[in-house]
Amino acid sequence: MARRRPEGGKVPPTALILDEIEEGLSRRQLELDPAHLELDEGEFRLVGSLQVGFRINRSAQTYQIEGQLHGRVAGECARCLEPVEQDLEAPLQLLLQRHQLSGDEREAAGEDEDVELLAPGAKQVDLKERLREAVLLELPIRMYCREDCKGLCVQCGHNLNTGACACAAGQSDSRWSALRDLKLS
Ligand SMILES: [Zn+2]
Ligand SMILES: [Zn+2]
């Protein structure tokens, strides 16, 4: 369904039009191209679409947003370097306040990073930065093709998940000889 857009401005897919949100509880579902978040993911990248499901609880000029992001991350196994993919889930939590706050309220809200203060005349809020941060926080540091991935042989590079390589015997020999050398010295 087409969304009504304010004249002249282009609404980003991650934007919420504040006055379109009804009072009370409502649900939203966004499907995003991860490229839209301009993530600098490093070793891993998001593949497929990013699903963002959340509910908004609006009470006058306060919008409580709670939801979840679902995506897929692709990269390499840290041990055997084979391509891997895994699910990425990230929570989304945010409180928007669109009204004039007293000094004390402002101070309290300023300390809470889940609270965003909006100017009384604000028309829309772009969740892009929030979504971006949520994804970055949940990106794995390492991925493995499986928990017990045996990795690569340090000598010949053979993927040990597919069986032992010819160096297996030689490797243990050299370990023993290293021990022997230690004892002698
Ligand atoms: Zn692996
Ligand atoms: Zn080997």
How far, in Å, from the CA of 81 to the mean position of ligand 1? Answer: 6
- Same domain membership, residue 144 and residue 157: no
Per-residue pLDDT for 25 more than 80?
yes
Secondary structure string (H, E, C) spanning the chain: CCCCCCCCCCCCCCEEEHHHCCCEEEEEEEEECHHHHCCCCCCCEEEEEEEEEEEEEEECCEEEEEEEEEEEEEEECCCCCCEEEEEEEEEEEEEEEECCCCHHHHHHHHHCCCEEEECCCCCEEECHHHHHHHHHHHCCCCCCCCCCCCCECCCCCCEHHHCCCCCHHHHHHHHHHHHHHHHHC
Domain assignment of residue 41, yes or no: yes
Q: Are residues 90 and 170 in the same domain?
A: no
- Ligand 2 centre from 148 Cα, in Å? 18
78 CA distance to ligand 1 middle (Å): 6
Query: Measured in angstroms, how far is the CA atom of residue 151 from the centroid of ligand 2?
Result: 11
Same domain, 145 and 157: no
Whether residue 141 is found in the same domain as residue 162: no
Q: Which domain holds residue 160?
A: 152-185
Q: Is this prediction's pTM over 0.95?
A: no
The per-residue pLDDT for range 37-71, each reduced to its tens digit, is 988 767 889 999 999 999 999 999 999 999 999 99
Q: What does the pLDDT read at residue 178?
A: 54
